[in-house]
Amino acid sequence: MTIKVLVIESSRDYRALISNHISVRWRDAKITEYDPAESGRFSESFSGASNDLVILGDPLQPVKGVESRHGREAATDWLTQFRRVSGFPPVVVIGDGDQRDVVRAIKSGAADYISRDRLQHKNLIALLENVLDEHEACNEKSQTRVPADGLEIPGLKGYTIERCISGGDISSVYLARKSDGDQQVVLKVLRQVPDFGGDNALLDRFLAEFEAIGHVSHPNVVNIFDLGIADNHAFIAMEFCSRGSLKRLIRQGMDAADAEKVMRGIAGALQAIHVKGILHRDLKPTNVLFREDGSLALIDFGLAKQAHLKAELTGTGEIFGTPYYMSPEQGHGEPLDERSDIYSLGIIFYEMLTGQKPYEGKTAMSVILKHAREPLPQLPAHLAAYQPAIDKMIAKRPGQRFQSIGELLEWRPATA
């Protein structure tokens, strides 16, 4: 893969370091290094169109003739300009700020953010690959649905599209704004509504997401505002969570107390849906988002299954979900209950504590087999107080796990 990357960074050493990391991963990459202190701000007409990715340092050295706080210019000033350009390539910010700076960067249009103190090859490349993959998928899935100006989806009235967040096989996700006000929402749009009278399983599964969440009222479950079908598009409008996903927090590194707090927040949401007879079945860090006030919201119930839904929605033995977080029984297409969601939460909890997934492999099947056969992962010594919870959350056999979310929430780590 030949990629074109623009590196905007005031420090010559950091520009060289970033370029070296990229060249090691993509040997034929075309990298342009740009010194903002020497060359100044890009003109308003700069489109970035010749690049696949932009890496932006934060903060930047002062640019002549530009007023800036504390003598240095924030990356958000550049992001605001870039965001106004339709089709601008994704921008990754590398900075040394706190969580508030991360939030400001993401809200200003950054695709992702990585701290300088975590600028190791593995972390940086994993982040860049993810951003490139999501951008490519979004472009491929949306090109038949969104007109060139990117302002609206044909037939979908009342919303103005601001940008594509992600694209998937079933649906794509957009950040939008309600046309009658300033409220930002997230639109999940089904790729194409099947012809009525034909095979409507895909549409039924999509609408089941709204049905599932619509029956739940809990502070840690995402709020749904609207559901509809316009032309050949089915859509769900839900709240916009401005602080991004749990995946970003894991990349930045989490201490044990924060990891436990988030785990319990997710558990509370699961308890609320389990009471309604709903399983999530696709728990993963990207399905846990954070609002402006820091509270979390569990999202993406597209795989959720209610007991009364007909079996033909998924097909007997058919496997859905993400292999890294699947329970052994889910990976083998066996019947599921709430203990499968507990297993997935345990895998996420381990990843929050260590920054690593417990089971990885080159293929989905190799990961599925490891979940079923490999020994339980062991936490580092300084996290030993959490080992009993991990052991009981991700036990291979459902009967050896916590039998309910309520039982899990009663657990407390042993104190020294």
Domain ranges of the chain: 4-140, 159-239, 246-410
**Span 277-285, average pLDDT:** 88
CA-based nearest residue to 79, from 50, 102, 96, 52: 102
Least confident of 98-102, 133-137, 223-227, 327-331: 133-137
Question: What CATH number is given for 246-410 in this structure?
Answer: 1.10.510.10
Distance, in Å, from the CA atom of 134 to the CA atom of 1, rounded to the nearest integer, reads 15
DSSP result, 92-122: EEEE---HHHHHHHHHTT-SEEEEGGG--HH
Q: Which residues fall within 8 angstroms of residue 91, CB to CB, at 6 or more apart?
A: 53, 54, 55, 56, 79, 82, 109, 110, 111
The token duo for 121 is 């090859």
404 pLDDT band, cuts 50/70/90, is very high
Q: In whole angstroms, how far apart are CA 260 and each of 27, 40, 255, 268, 386?
A: 41, 45, 9, 12, 9
pLDDT of residue 160: 82
Average pLDDT, the chain: 80
41 pLDDT band, cuts 50/70/90, is confident
pLDDT of residue 114: 85
pLDDT of residue 278: 85
pLDDT > 80? residue 320: no
pLDDT > 80? residue 312: no
Q: At what angle do helices 12-25 and 121-142 cross, to 10 degrees?
A: 70
pLDDT over 90 percentage in the chain = 33
User: Is the separation of the CB atoms in 105 and 93 below 8 Å?
Assistant: yes
Question: What CATH number is given for 159-239 in this structure?
Answer: 3.30.200.20
58, 77, 101, 282: the active-site residue: 282
Can you tell me whether residue 310 is helix, strand or coil? coil
User: Is the separation of the CB atoms in 28 and 2 below 8 Å?
Assistant: yes
The owner of tokens 């083998």 is 332
> Of 177 and 256, which is predicted with more confidence?
256
Identify any residues that bridge with 172 across adjacent strands, giving them in sequence order.
167, 189
The sign of the CA dihedral 267, 269, 271, 274 is: negative
pLDDT over 70 percentage in the chain = 79
CA angle 68, 69, 74 (to 5 degrees): 75
pLDDT of residue 352: 96
Distance, in Å, from the CA atom of 259 to the CA atom of 255, rounded to the nearest integer, reads 6
Is 282 marked active-site? yes
The token duo for 304 is 């959720």
pLDDT digits (tens, 9 = 90+) for 117-165: 777 888 888 888 878 877 765 654 444 344 434 445 656 778 888 877 7
Give the best-scoring range by mean pLDDT among 300-309, 323-332, 345-354: 345-354
User: Is the separation of the CB atoms in 266 and 352 below 8 Å?
Assistant: no
Class of domain 4-140: alpha beta
DSSP result, 139-194: HHHHTTTS-TT-S--TT--SEEEEEEEEE-SSEEEEEEEETTSS-EEEEEEES-PP
Using a cut of 0.75, tell me whether the model's pTM lies above it.
no
Q: In whole angstroms, how far apart are CA 321 and each of 129, 253, 373, 397?
A: 21, 25, 19, 19
Give the best-scoring range by mean pLDDT among 22-26, 56-60, 343-347: 343-347
Task: For 191-232, list the strands marked E by DSSP.
Answer: 224-230
User: Is the separation of the CB atoms in 297 and 268 below 8 Å?
Assistant: no
Q: Which residues fall within 8 angstroms of residue 289, CB to CB, at 6 or more apart?
A: 222, 241, 243, 244, 245, 246, 296, 297, 299
- Which helix (H) or strand (E) covers residue 29, if one does? none
pLDDT of residue 32: 93
pLDDT of residue 307: 37
**Span 232-246, average pLDDT:** 84
pLDDT of residue 262: 97
pLDDT of residue 263: 98
77 pLDDT band, cuts 50/70/90, is confident
pLDDT of residue 194: 52
pLDDT of residue 102: 78
- Give the number of C-alpha atoms closer than 13 A to the C-alpha of residue 246, restricted to the C-beta side: 27
pLDDT of residue 328: 94
CA-based nearest residue to 251, from 94, 386, 78: 94
Relative to beta strand 224-230, strand 233-239 is: antiparallel
pLDDT > 50? residue 372: yes
206 pLDDT band, cuts 50/70/90, is low
